[in-house]
Amino acid sequence: MPKLKIALGTTSESKTMFVKKVFENLGVDAEFINLEVKSGVSDQPPTSEETRTGSINRAKEALKLCSACDFSLGIEAGYHKVENNHNIFCWATIIDQKEQIYSCESSKIPLPKFHRQILAENKYLGHHVQNFYKNSDPKYKVILGTSIRYREDIISEAVRNVTLQYLNKEEYF
């Protein structure tokens, strides 16, 4: 497979690093063009549907800005409320030059009480999550806090799954 040129609908260094790691692990040679695009959804999408829409919007906008790219990739994290809990998850979407849309959702991770309270108060979670593990001793609490703050697990899972779907599209479409 020749080197892929991918329009990445984010300028986030951490998201870009996670995406590159996924492609390296899959053995896919790729060049990423980072683009600042809008999701068209709320900053903390409260539903899976809105989160998926955000990832699609990011991929569409990125492809418009880089028409020479093989495809675009949009990533959006969301927080879905289930009864008295919130789950964090991610949708990743690839749109190719034929405008075929491929989307995958990560698994959902239940948020601890600390994070649920921030969301219940309509505060932006990203501004507060480091307080969860800043003064924590148990390693598992630090790992959970880091996972929620940077979202590597859910982003990597969604990107890996949508990339596999795209690379094996004859099996899906």
Enumerate the β-bridge partners of residue 109: 88
Domains of the chain, each with CATH number or no CATH: 4-171 (3.90.950.10)
Give the pLDDT of the chain (173 residues) as one tens digit per residue.
789 999 999 999 999 999 999 999 999 999 999 999 999 999 889 899 999 999 999 999 999 999 999 999 999 999 888 787 888 899 999 999 999 999 999 999 888 777 677 777 777 666 666 666 665 666 666 666 666 667 899 999 999 999 999 999 998 77
Residue 113: per-residue pLDDT: 76
Residue 172: per-residue pLDDT: 78
Q: Residue 153 has which token pair?
A: 């697990």
Residue 20 φ/ψ, nearest 5 degrees: -60, -40
Residue 124: per-residue pLDDT: 66
Distance between the two ends of the chain, CA-based, in angstroms? 20
Residue 62: per-residue pLDDT: 98
Could you tell me how many helices (H) and strands (E) the chain has, helices first? Answer: 6, 6
Enumerate the β-bridge partners of residue 91: 76, 105
